[in-house]
């Protein structure tokens, strides 16, 4: 009796697999209908099979639509324009710092030699200082404050944390002390909500397109 039930179970399983296989078979006499090509149709595009008919399609770039901001007063618009100028002024420096420190982290990750790691950090520090001597020292206090925020935005770490990691806590403390004298704060963090005007300027600037 048990053997009989086993035979019945095997027949049911085999029948189920056969039915499933028949459902997935595409009839040979029902080929996919391809679109007719014109004399100028020379560009290959992607296609999707829709009920046996190939429909060509082309992926389009994302289009971002921004609402036009309405200012309460000419003074408010002037303040926003100054902010936009300052953000676009320092944004290249923040992006440079991001690329340079990301490269430093990659270089440090592939070597365990302490002497070589120290050399890599020193080289990175030298390049940042050279940029500082040529460009960043000419920034205004406001531009410097925005830059420290953007560094945190791009790297996910404050300028203070970066200096502490690469140069040590004492050096970071000294840098912070000097920065505070001239109105900077290396521990400044970035918040897309609190700094929504800056975020709006960056998103519409074209840097990430």
Q: What is the pLDDT of residues 71-106, one digit of tens each?
A: 889 999 999 999 999 999 888 888 888 888 888 888
* pLDDT for the residue numbered 92: 87
* pLDDT for the residue numbered 87: 92
Does residue 67 form part of some domain? no
- Per the structure block, which two tokens stand in for 38? 């014109």
Judge whether residue 14 has pLDDT over 60.
no
Domain that holds residue 194: 74-203
Judge whether residue 26 has pLDDT over 50.
no
Name the pTM for this structure: 0.58
Evaluate whether 77 touches 85 at the Cβ level (below 8 Å). Answer: no
**Among all chains, which residue has been given the structure tokens 């990691």?**
165
Does residue 148 form part of some domain? yes
More confident: 22 or 186: 186
State what percent of residues in the chain have pLDDT above 70.
71
Does residue 22 form part of some domain? no
Does residue 108 form part of some domain? yes
Does residue 43 form part of some domain? no
Does residue 117 form part of some domain? yes
Query: Of 161, 162, 152, which Cα lies nearest the Cα of 195?
Result: 152
Per the structure, the count of domains in the chain is: 1
Does residue 170 form part of some domain? yes
Q: Cβ-count burial of 81 within 10 angstroms (0-12 exposed, 13-18 middle, 19+ buried)? A: exposed
Residues 142-161: what's their mean pLDDT? Answer: 82
Does residue 137 form part of some domain? yes
């Amino acid at each position: 009796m048990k053997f009989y039930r086993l035979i019945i179970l095997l027949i049911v399983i085999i029948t189920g697999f056969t039915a499933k296989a028949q459902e997935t078979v595409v009839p040979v006499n029902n080929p996919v209908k391809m679109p007719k090509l014109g004399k100028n149709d020379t560009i290959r595009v992607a296609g999707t099979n829709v009920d046996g008919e190939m429909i060509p399609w082309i992926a389009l770039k994302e289009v971002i639509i921004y609402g036009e901001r309405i200012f309460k007063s000419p003074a408010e618009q002037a303040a926003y324009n100054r902010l936009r100028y300052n953000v676009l002024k320092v944004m290249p420096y923040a992006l440079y710092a991001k690329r340079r420190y990301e490269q430093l982290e990659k270089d440090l990750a592939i070597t365990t030699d302490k002497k070589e790691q120290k050399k890599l950090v020193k080289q990175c520090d030298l390049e940042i200082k050279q940029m500082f001597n040529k460009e960043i020292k000419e920034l205004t206090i406001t531009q410097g404050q925005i830059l420290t925020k953007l560094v945190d935005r791009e790297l996910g770490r404050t300028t203070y944390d970066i200096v502490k990691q690469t140069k040590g806590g004492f050096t970071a403390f000294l840098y912070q002390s000097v920065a505070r004298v001239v109105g900077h704060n290396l521990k400044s963090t970035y918040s897309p909500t609190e700094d929504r005007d800056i975020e709006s300027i960056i998103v519409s600037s074209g840097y990430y397109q």
